[in-house]
Structure 1
């Protein structure tokens, strides 16, 4: 056999250094918005051991600016230069257990997404260091020259720097002007609106750090402390909690905890709206994934279930360590992830069981509301595979009134009731219940109508053998009267007093 000769590739090296102006502009478009950008800066502060983070925003100045000041460990000048380098950390490097970083891009990419001027002031061991990226300067020079500032006392935000810590300052806020760069009032209004949305996001994302009598972190916006928003309503007495499950994997443990939120009538309006968030409870149901106690996914089933009205109070907290970043495909913004196959399989079973239990609970409750022994005003009827709701013509109020009518008018009265039933606005009701169910409520009942209902039911119950001393408990089992019992109770007392006398 002949000898096979393998020729060695001949290579040459050329300089392919990325153009600074192009690359740094590209870092502005990683998909950050104001809330995710601010959260990324706060991640760095927490990783640096900060106990306090102050978010200061001057939206009315000729040149608006935003600063985040923390009392963390601060940096030396060498560490600052490294922190300002794009891609300062390898995402595959092993991290400390509570390190919230990912790629070493967050400080720069998050900041550039909102501004063209990024300045960082930091102090450690009584020595202050200051560095700045000015994107306009980079575009003009097309090089990677970072500016080091030797007189930091002249920098905006210098007065916010604690004895030890860091201040991140955003200037040239071109992405936050809302197109109102030359209208100062409207620009400020737009920026304040964006900050308001960001405030809710930060209270949610860092809620575990903000909770408790001695919170791990104190966070404020323009001097106003931000309170945590717990999407699980963990401390509410009416929240239902399933036993936790632990999925042990080679890269670490995944902790799974299922919660069912209380019905909106058992929560204050503020609690209900905060846990539902801007999009409401229908959209906020589902999985809440935490990475080192920091929320990275807030709601949605990630393909494991459908969002329905029956499951809108179902929420599952999933805790993962930062050692699983690659498996979960955590993105630069730490705002999205993908379920690893082994976790998806376990969660699929958890979700099926949890959602199934919730649906059965709601269906059971629905059946009780239309139980015939409770004299419902509406009857639920299955007809040709469909569900129809009809006025209950045998309801004591309807029956009593019909019996008081002349014989020739009774059929007309019952026909009117049937027409009311046929005209039930199903499509409109469905749209309202899907979009904003908690805002749909029954109309107010007049005192005379309530009195007629109580008297009619009481008479009918007694005629059917219910003793007078059991009337109160029996009537309160009626959902309509139960929510109006404060007004109905005196009417029943008058009825009993009249009957006894």
Structure 2
């Protein structure tokens, strides 16, 4: 042994068990496995959920290029390709871990069967139970004999080439249960819908257009989910940004108000997470969706009246490290040098999205302009002007009714009225007319909470939904925020 170093190999069993905690869920794990099929130029991919209680399995079958024995052994090696190695432009891989970490995050047994042109069917298997019981800490990659995977081998031979990834001993998907356990089977099959929605979103750009990929789950074709409702949304000016000599393309969209969509279109456009949660940036790497609806930690909050704003970002895989792409390919964060540009694009898109609601809110206000309900009213007494809180305001009336000490509440209002700093307001407005804040201008959560309270009071007082919405639309201070108000009322109507 060299005096300069020692070779300290990790214990295989302990290391693999630790790698199972990378944070995959079933949908992100299967998406990572499908990346390998796409990189292998597959034209068809079949995902199959096979229920058999504790012996249930999930298969990913493709008609890609397949692998010979040397290629399969390399693919099954942990860290098969360094993330620092430059990949081809269309490669969807990253760390050389995805096949193993994604599979073993859900299953204790990963078997891969592959057939390349001009080669024999080859198989290899990682079995965590075997490694724990017989591995002696070694990385023992099993060689299942062909009779053990006879059906898989025959299937690949009928296709001509391709790969089958078989996940079994699904301890993270099927805890326990016999084949006749109906509740366990129901939970297993419910996962299929989650996976279908996720794969349709992540790979939607591969699932349409000339030469589109065909993907099937248990025989049913997967449809792509288009976050941008192509042909109906307003496409804003595209931008091409540069970072470290690489080009990044940004395409902002403002989606149409729900009144311009059919019920089916509106439901489909909401996406797997719902309208409000799907606003933000959509980060693609080689057309594969990495981040779906997120403001990328730019200090921007998701708010109801901005939910029509969605922005597409196309990244090359050469910027993986700069964008902090994680192993699961489910998170990405922009480099510091790009944050200001992305904030600028986000704000412009959000402003445009808010105008959709602002316009609709102003139309509603104009229809009922005579019905404004003010919080304050001006009173003139002996030539002097005083400002009084409107005792007929719904919120004021409701609080007064619920207050145990009515006299104390009245005294509080009187004190507020008498202490209004009118001279200071006049002076500040004269000296700096543009510095007075808009009510709730920096407190959107407080504004929404106040809207909910007043709307609820109006409903309790017997107003219909329509009448309550109409009064809210023309009431101070909500009339100063037609975009937030209209988004709130739309949400109420859908509820």
The TM-score bracket by the shorter chain reads: 0.7 to 0.9
Q: Which residue of the partner structure matches residue 357 of structure 1? A: 352
Q: Which residue of the partner structure matches residue 135 of structure 1? A: 128
In the alignment of these two chains, the number of paired residues is 396
Task: Describe the SS at the equivalent of 2:318.
Answer: helix
Q: Which residue of the partner structure matches residue 36 of structure 1? A: 28
Tell me by how many angstroms 1:102 deviates: 0.2
Residue from 181, 184, 208 that aligns with 1:184: 181
Whole-angstrom distance in 1 between the partners of 2:361 and 2:396: 19
Say which is worse superposed, 187-196 or 293-302, in terms of deviation. Answer: 187-196
Q: Which residue of the partner structure matches residue 210 of structure 1? A: 207
Q: Which residue of the partner structure matches residue 248 of structure 2? A: 254
Q: Note closer, same or farther for the CA distance 1:179–1:271 as it changes in structure 2 (3 Å cut).
A: farther
The yes-or-no answer on 1:276 pairing with 2:298 is: no
Tell me by how many angstroms 1:85 deviates: 0.4
Residue from 68, 79, 85 that aligns with 2:77: 85
Check the 8 A contact 2:284/2:315 in 1, yes or no: yes
Whole-angstrom distance in 2 between the partners of 1:422 and 1:53: 63
Q: Which residue of the partner structure matches residue 487 of structure 1? A: none
Whole-angstrom distance in 2 between the partners of 1:15 and 1:108: 24
Q: Which residue of the partner structure matches residue 48 of structure 1? A: 40
List gaps (5 residues or longer) in structure 2. Answer: 378-391, 400-447, 456-463, 468-485, 487-495
Check the 8 A contact 1:60/1:185 in 2, yes or no: no
Say which is worse superposed, 201-210 or 264-273, in terms of deviation. Answer: 264-273
Check the 8 A contact 1:69/1:160 in 2, yes or no: no
Q: Note closer, same or farther for the CA distance 1:184–1:263 as it changes in structure 2 (3 Å cut).
A: same
The yes-or-no answer on 1:26 pairing with 2:23 is: no
Whole-angstrom distance in 1 between the partners of 2:19 and 2:370: 62
Provide Cα deviations, 1:168-204, integer angstroms capped at 9, x if missing partner.
Answer: 0000000001565797322211111122111101000
Say which is worse superposed, 183-192 or 98-107, in terms of deviation. Answer: 183-192
**Higher relative contact order (Cα pairs below 8 Å, separated by 6+ residues):** 2
Check the 8 A contact 1:121/1:152 in 2, yes or no: no
List gaps (5 residues or longer) in structure 1. Answer: 1-9, 385-416, 434-441, 446-478, 480-501
Tell me by how many angstroms 1:429 deviates: 6.2
Q: Note closer, same or farther for the CA distance 1:353–1:147 as it changes in structure 2 (3 Å cut).
A: same
Task: Describe the SS at the equivalent of 1:91.
Answer: coil
Whole-angstrom distance in 1 between the partners of 2:327 and 2:192: 22
Whole-angstrom distance in 2 between the partners of 1:296 and 1:252: 18
Q: Which residue of the partner structure matches residue 286 of structure 1? A: 280
Residue from 335, 340, 358 that aligns with 1:340: 335
Say which is worse superposed, 258-267 or 312-321, in terms of deviation. Answer: 258-267
Whole-angstrom distance in 2 between the partners of 1:52 and 1:144: 33
Tell me by how many angstroms 1:89 deviates: 0.3
Tell me by how many angstroms 1:359 deviates: 2.3
Q: Which residue of the partner structure matches residue 458 of structure 2? A: none
Q: Note closer, same or farther for the CA distance 1:153–1:16 as it changes in structure 2 (3 Å cut).
A: closer
Task: Describe the SS at the equivalent of 2:9.
Answer: coil
Q: Which residue of the partner structure matches residue 121 of structure 1? A: 113
Whole-angstrom distance in 2 between the partners of 1:37 and 1:191: 16
Whole-angstrom distance in 1 between the partners of 2:166 and 2:245: 37
1:90-489 aligned at under 5 Å gives the runs 90-126=82-118, 127-140=120-133, 141=135, 142-151=137-146, 154-155=149-150, 157-161=152-156, 162-178=159-175, 180=177, 184-212=181-209, 214-235=210-231, 237=232, 239-304=233-298, 305-371=300-366, 374-375=367-368, 379=372, 381=374, 383=376, 430=452
The structure whose Rg is larger is: 1
Q: Note closer, same or farther for the CA distance 1:230–1:19 as it changes in structure 2 (3 Å cut).
A: same
Whole-angstrom distance in 1 between the partners of 2:361 and 2:267: 24
Provide Cα deviations, 1:350-385, integer angstroms capped at 9, x if missing partner.
Answer: 1122212322342232112111xx34695364648x
The yes-or-no answer on 1:17 pairing with 2:27 is: no
Q: Note closer, same or farther for the CA distance 1:14–1:383 as it changes in structure 2 (3 Å cut).
A: same
Provide Cα deviations, 1:283-314, integer angstroms capped at 9, x if missing partner.
Answer: 11001000010000001212332211110110
Check the 8 A contact 1:240/1:262 in 2, yes or no: yes
Tell me by how many angstroms 1:60 deviates: 3.9
Check the 8 A contact 1:156/1:169 in 2, yes or no: no
Tell me by how many angstroms 1:14 deviates: 2.7
Whole-angstrom distance in 1 between the partners of 2:187 and 2:327: 26
Tell me by how many angstroms 1:29 deviates: 0.9
**TM-score w.r.t. structure 2 length?**
0.73
Q: Note closer, same or farther for the CA distance 1:420–1:138 as it changes in structure 2 (3 Å cut).
A: closer
Q: Note closer, same or farther for the CA distance 1:62–1:17 as it changes in structure 2 (3 Å cut).
A: closer
Superposition RMSD in Å = 3.2
Task: Describe the SS at the equivalent of 2:294.
Answer: coil
Task: Describe the SS at the equivalent of 1:209.
Answer: coil
Tell me by how many angstroms 1:277 deviates: 2.6
**TM-score w.r.t. structure 1 length?**
0.72
